[in-house]
Amino acid sequence: MDLGINKKLLLGRLKKEGLKSEDIDVVFLTHYHPDHAFLAAIFEKAIILDENTIYEEDKETDYEERIPGTNIKIIATPGHASEHFSLLIQSIKGIIVIAGDVFWWPDNERQETSRMSLLEHKDPFVKDEKVLLESRKKVLAIADWIIPGHGVMFRNNRTNKGI
């Protein structure tokens, strides 16, 4: 889930799911843009993770490849931001990739998920277009389901796999 910068909206969405901020124990930051990192501190009981560091109060602990205590793998997906990372989760529905801003749509834009639309979709905040394209291909090659940073979860059409 994209944390956003609207605290009232985030708390409302948690409430809709029967959760409070204190129920969240882990927050993973895909990258450091304000719309993804700004509200991390409202989860007072949570540890905050980026691609290789756990932040817990004033303590920092390094880790590698997987979120500690889980099988959730962290994969580099730069392009939108140089420090961008995604999460890969094996589930009974298949492989789910929480892709942050590898794929995203503004609130007023229709979410197109065809192969060509996903590869060609313009990112006005992109740091490196060629690298972002490679990250998109990487995600499409492994994911059955994709959760974008902005938008709704979608099934990766099988024709997207193996790009």
The pLDDT tens digits of the residues spanning 45-63 come to: 999 999 999 999 889 999 9
Q: Is the pLDDT of residue 1 over 70?
A: no
The structure's pTM equals 0.89
Q: In degrees to the nearest 10, what's the CA dihedral of 78, 98, 67, 69?
A: -170
Instruction: Identify the band that residue 145 occupies on the pLDDT scale cut at 50, 70 and 90.
Output: very high
pLDDT of residue 158: 60
β-bridge pairing 145-150 and 94-104: parallel
pLDDT tens-digit readout, 92-116: 999 999 999 999 998 889 999 998 9
Q: What pLDDT sits at residue 140?
A: 96
Domain topology for 73-160: Metallo-beta-lactamase; Chain A (3.60.15)
Farthest-apart Cα atoms in the chain, separation: 46
Domain map (residue ranges) of the chain: 7-62, 73-160
